[in-house]
Amino acid sequence: MIGYIEGILKIANLFLSVVAGLIAISLFRASTKKTYLKPWYLLIIVLVLFAVQEVLGALRAFQIYETSYLTHLIPTFILGLLIWTLVLQINIK
């Protein structure tokens, strides 16, 4: 029973990664028009890395592909870029 729940949650995570990709595309279009949204370019990269992380998590859950360093390295980049984006956005204000 737990395996089914985990599978359903991983499929939901894949759906969330697709939504994150669509949001990244819409943010890219909006940030090219307005100069005060320049730090959001980094947020687009964060969203793409989140989508990659979710795909890697699903592959690991279904035991298709497993790597330990990518599942720790990508969240580190996500967190670093997110902090950098927040600092840049605060400095614009």
- By residue count, the chain amounts to 93
Q: Is the pLDDT reported for residue 79 higher than 90?
A: yes
d(CA 10, CA 33): 35
* Token pair in block for residue 67: 């790597």
Q: Quick one: how many helices (H) and strands (E) in the chain?
A: 3, 0
Tokens representing 39? 């730090």
38: which DSSP letter? T
Q: Is the pTM of this model over 0.85?
A: no
Looking at residue 76, what is its pLDDT?
92
Residue range 48-73: average pLDDT? Answer: 78
Contact 84/42 with Cβ under 8 angstroms?
yes
Extents of the domains making up the chain: 2-92
